[in-house]
């Protein structure tokens, strides 16, 4: 599919781009090449190909969550550095109002 200069100007307007005359002709050629390649891809018969989201088999690689206690020195250091607290609780701004 060959793009005209008018079509490139329209695309540039939609993209909020100012193009020189040389840029318009260069982009017309380049965008036409891209569209011709897409046309070639569209011609490939993919009716027997199963749709997929990834080219490689993907599996969940997350580890199980494990709650572990930290030592008293780590806990005390964290509490000491937190701006607002009440005993061993940390005060934060409201998430929902």
Query: Is residue 80 in a domain?
Result: no
φ/ψ of 92, rounded to 5, equals -125, 165
Kindly report the pTM of this predicted structure: 0.48
Say how many domains are in the chain: 1
Query: Is residue 93 in a domain?
Result: no
Query: Is residue 63 in a domain?
Result: no
Question: Domain residues for 17?
Answer: 5-42
Q: Where are the alpha helices (DSSP H) in the chain?
A: 5-14, 21-42, 72-81
Here the CATH number for the domain that contains residue 23 is 1.10.20.60
Query: Is residue 72 in a domain?
Result: no
Q: What is the tens place of the pLDDT at every residue in 19-34?
A: 999 999 999 999 999 9
Q: Residue 21 CB: number of other CB atoms within 10 A?
A: 8
Query: Is residue 68 in a domain?
Result: no
Q: What is the tens place of the pLDDT at every residue in 56-75?
A: 887 887 888 888 888 889 88
Query: Is residue 78 in a domain?
Result: no
Q: Residue 3 CB: number of other CB atoms within 10 A?
A: 19
The residue to which tokens 């930290």 are assigned: 70
């Amino acid at each position: 599919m060959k793009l005209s200069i008018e079509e490139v100007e329209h695309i540039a307007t939609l993209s909020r781009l100012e193009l020189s005359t040389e840029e318009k002709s260069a982009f017309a050629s380049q965008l036409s090449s891209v569209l011709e390649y897409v046309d070639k891809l569209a011609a490939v018969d993919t009716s027997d190909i199963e749709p997929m989201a990834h080219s490689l088999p993907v599996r969940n690689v997350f580890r199980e969550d494990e709650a572990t206690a930290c030592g008293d020195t780590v806990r005390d250091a964290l509490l000491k550095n937190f701006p607002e607290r009440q005993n061993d609780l940390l005060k934060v701004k409201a998430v929902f109002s």
